[in-house]
Copies of this chain bind each other. A is one copy, B any other.
Amino acid sequence: MSTPKEHEKLSDYISSQKLKQSHKRLTVLKAISASPKRHLTAHEVLALLNKKRSGIGQATVYRSLRLLCDAGVLNELRCEDGSSRYEFASAGSHHDHLICTKCGRFVEVFDPEIERLQDKLFARHGFYPERHKLELYGVCRMCKR
């Protein structure tokens, strides 16, 4: 899924920052691409890699996730339990999330009207807008038994 484009974005960032290409960093990116889950924790990424006996340590996973965010390949979502989840930044650009409190399912949503009303709130209070976080918690269809 959107693999070559993401690799290129990573490559470009590495060049622009005078860093060095590394095989393990690419392996992390590929593991995330190959997973059906689209919102992964560092721990889950590490588990994917261990299953493949990649020999990649957790420090490298954390460092790679950070760098992939800096490169604009991934987005970090800070969860309420203190951990973070990572998703591809490209996929549909900005969106918010419906989150099932039973099974943890993430559903991506976007409502241009809500976005517009948010901008009005910023303006009404004299704020220069930078970003927002909208998370809707509830029980999904599957989990409602």
Q: In the bound complex, what is the Cα–Cα distance between A82 and B132 (angstroms)?
A: 17
Report which A residues bind B (CB closer than 8 A): 78, 80, 82, 98, 100-101, 107, 109, 111, 113-114, 117-118, 121-122, 125-141, 144
Taking a contact as CB atoms under 8 Å apart, the answer to whether A140 and B127 are in contact is yes
Taking a contact as CB atoms under 8 Å apart, the answer to whether A132 and B137 are in contact is yes
A12 to chain B, nearest CB (A): 28
Which residues of chain B are within 8 angstroms of A129 by Cβ–Cβ distance?
A: 136-138
The 8 Å CB contact of A130, one of B107, B131, B139, is: B139
Q: In the bound complex, what is the Cα–Cα distance between A82 and B100 (angstroms)?
A: 21
Q: In the bound complex, what is the Cα–Cα distance between A12 and B133 (angstroms)?
A: 35
A98-B121 contact, Cβ under 8 Å, with A127-B138, A132-B137, A134-B134: yes
Q: In the bound complex, what is the Cα–Cα distance between A117 and B114 (angstroms)?
A: 7
Which residues of chain B are within 8 angstroms of A130 by Cβ–Cβ distance?
A: 101, 137-139
